[in-house]
Amino acid sequence: MSLEIEDLRIAIRGRTVVDGVSLSLGDGDRLGLIGESGSGKSLTALAMLGLLPPGSTVSGSIRLDGRELVGRSDRELAAVRGRQAGIVFQEPATALNPVRRVGAQIGESLRIHYGFTKRQALERAVKLAARVHLPDPERIVYRYPHELSGGQRQRVAIAAAIATGPRLIIADEPTTALDVTIQAGILDLFDHEVTRSGASLLFITHDLAVLARIVARAAVLADGRVIEQAAVADLLASPAHPVTAALAAAAYATSFVGAPVASRPLPAGTPVASQPLAADAPVASRP
Amino acid sequence: MSAPLLSARGLARDYRLPRQRLGGPHPVHHALVDVDLDVDAGEIVAVIGESGSGKSTLARLLLALDRPTRGQVTFDGRPVVAGPARNLRWLRAGTGIVLQDPYASLDPRFRVHDVIAEPLRALKVPGDHRRLVADVLTRVGLGPDRAASYPHELSGGQRQRVALARAIVHRPRLLVGDEPTSALDVTVRAEIIALLRDLNATLGLAVVLVSHDLGLVQRFAERVVVMHAGRVVESGPTGAVLDDPRHAYTRGLVAAVPRLPVRSTDA
């Protein structure tokens, strides 16, 4: 699904927070949005789905496959959210409803937007749970979010986001709240699902190393504006804008450097913490 | 060889969990199991691990913010025993702590001066407190003018500098940082790392850095202690452990960290 954003402006209670953002994403393409806190990257995504906080005003244009979204009613935007776009947020603990079973939440959009019965939706939820590598899918659908680990909750959120086979997937810092070994599995899952479905992907992050893992092209946001848009490799190697240069320099000054640990690749999607350790005994300390 | 500044032996912390059924036994969670740790004066040691590894529990026990179920901590040769503040003044005078979230750790009603001067008052440090606060503000890169500001007037990075200033204003010999850069933007994170390194070099401050951020640890720590499920699974010089991890858990951890593409200029 193609996405065209033109001169998007968002003000919250009179304060401009997104100030003329233009982006375009072709059908099946991936685009990263990167920037520091307050740069406007999350609000840009929320605007597409009509999920902005009360008191927000939006102008400009957001077109999904040529259909204008700005100015539509909440009801129409809800239909877009349910059928055509799936979104995964940073914190699955708050994005999921704590008092509803996992399976009901995975299947919810199928019931609302495609008329599935409770039973059909649950059957589908079991399949989706298996697809996102949740353990024991037949039983996990009857559990509540608090009974799951953070990584498992994020897999539930992904299953719910892809349930209707959306043509656009939006991910807003989907691994920021997770441990690094869990993050690796979730990023693998995203990569795999987006490739398999051929959906377009808008991936929002503040982490350039995560960005480089998932997308080839990204837009840099600062103070509510797109300051640069280019291949991630170019943003890192030859940034054109001073803000991008500062981001890249800081990333190289703080992120991990090292060859991959070659001899022991992890099976995709397996959280390290749950694997039996080769030897539970600690390794002798080196002087 | 001189004795370490900080030493922990056989440290363990169990937590009683709620009963599974009425009248049943309390299950016990072993948050920390038999941990040994030595930190020399002026040394930077990182404790790494993921959620639930016990690294924050360890940090709390080192500073007597919690009481171990078993084991012993000594600081500067004296046993550390959690208890009333008056019994711990010597420990507070020798140590400082910085936590993850600079928004939560600064009282919004206090001006920066009062936040930073608080340990000076509590520890009855002699001298001109106004002067000491101005000096430490300069040292953390904020400048004495900031003393009159309220926390809400500061950015996240500036707040973390204030938290650092408060942690070192009384000239401790050991700083414990529990994820001090996790809540910060990447450009600010780089500045705080540089500041910590400067404080270590110029003040001879020993640092115990609790972190899940392997990039930070790799650049900053001389020695690293890897924790998993409440135990130390591996420890040694940072380069040796991170370049050639020996324990299965450490190998998985290092393998999972996303890398930036190598820049030709870095080769």
Using the beta-carbon criterion (under 8 Å), do A207 and B261 form an inter-chain contact?
A: no
State how far the alpha carbon of B67 is from the alpha carbons of A51, A209, B60, B62, in Å: 46, 39, 9, 9
- Beta carbons of B64 and B87 less than 8 angstroms apart: no
Judge whether A233 is closer than 8 Å to chain B, CB to CB. yes
In chain B, the residue whose alpha carbon lies closest to the alpha carbon of A39 is B185
Number of residues assigned to chain B: 267
The 3 state secondary structure assigned to B55-102 is HHHHHHHHCCCCCCCEEEEEECCEEECCCCHHHCHHHHHHEEEECCCC
The single residue listed with the structure tokens 């050991």 is B174
Top pLDDT among A95 and B162 is at B162
Superfamily the domain A3-89+169-285 falls into: P-loop containing nucleotide triphosphate hydrolases (3.40.50.300)
Candidates B80, B112, B103, B105; CA nearest to B5 is: B80
Please tell me the predicted confidence (pLDDT) of residue B245.
93
Of the two residues A270 and B121, the one the predictor is more confident about is: B121
Please give the Cα distance from A91 to A177 (Å, whole number). Answer: 6
d(C-alpha A60, C-alpha A69), whole Å: 10
Among A90, A211, A256, A275, the residue to mutate for chain B (most B Cβ within 10 A)? A256
* Angle, vertex CA B163, rays to CA B158 and CA B164, nearest 5: 95
Tell me, what DSSP letter sits at residue A273? G
Tokens 């404790």 sit on residue: B47
Say whether residue A150 is in contact with chain B using an 8 A CB cutoff: yes
Tokens of B71: 């084991």
- Least trusted range by pLDDT, from A59-63, A118-122, B182-186: B182-186
Any idea where the domains of chain A sit in the sequence?
3-89+169-285
pLDDT score for B182: 83
Contacts of A146 (CB under 8 A, 6+ apart): A98
* pLDDT value for B210: 94
pLDDT in tens, B213-267: 999 899 999 999 999 999 999 999 999 999 999 999 999 999 999 999 887 654 4
> Minimal Cα distance from B225: which residue of A?
A285
pLDDT higher than 60, residue A274: no
pLDDT above 70 covers a percentage of chain A that reads: 92
pLDDT at position A255, please? 87
ipTM of the predicted structure?
0.80
- pLDDT at residue A266 above 80? no
Among the ranges given (A201-205, B19-23, B162-166), the one the predictor scored with the smallest mean pLDDT: B19-23
By Cβ distance, the residue of B212, B249, B258 closest to A210 is B258
Q: Which two tokens stand for residue B178?
A: 């529990």
Q: Rounded distance, CA A285 to CA B14, Å? A: 25
Where would I find the H helices in B124-203?
A: 129-139, 156-168, 186-203
For B8-17, how does the pLDDT look when each residue is reduced to its tens digit (9 = 90+)? 999 999 998 8
Q: Tell me, yes or no, if B1 comes closer than 8 A to chain A by beta carbon.
A: no
Residues A9 and A226: their CA atoms lie apart, in Å, by 12
Rounded Cα distance, B14 and B69, in Å: 6
pLDDT tier, A285 (very low <50, low <70, confident <90, very high otherwise):
confident
User: Are A264 and B248 a contacting pair at CB < 8 A?
Assistant: yes
Q: H or E element: which one contains A85?
A: strand A85-88
Report which of A191, A211, A204 is spatially closest to residue A251, judged by C-alpha positions: A211
Give pLDDT tens digits for A62-93: 999 988 999 888 888 888 877 888 889 887 77
- Closest alpha carbon to B37 in B6, B1, B68: B6
- Interchain CB contact of A207 with B (< 8 Å): yes
**Which residues 57-96 in chain B show a CB within 8 A of chain A?**
none
- What average pLDDT does chain B have? 91
pTM of the predicted model over 0.90 = no
What angle, 0 to 180 degrees and rounded to 10, lies between the N-to-C axes of helices A102-114 and A150-162? 10
Query: Considering only residues 165 to 194 of chain A, which have any Cβ-Cβ distance to chain B shorter than 8 Å?
Result: 179-184, 187
B267: exposed, middle or buried (Cβ count in 10 Å: 0-12, 13-18, 19+): exposed
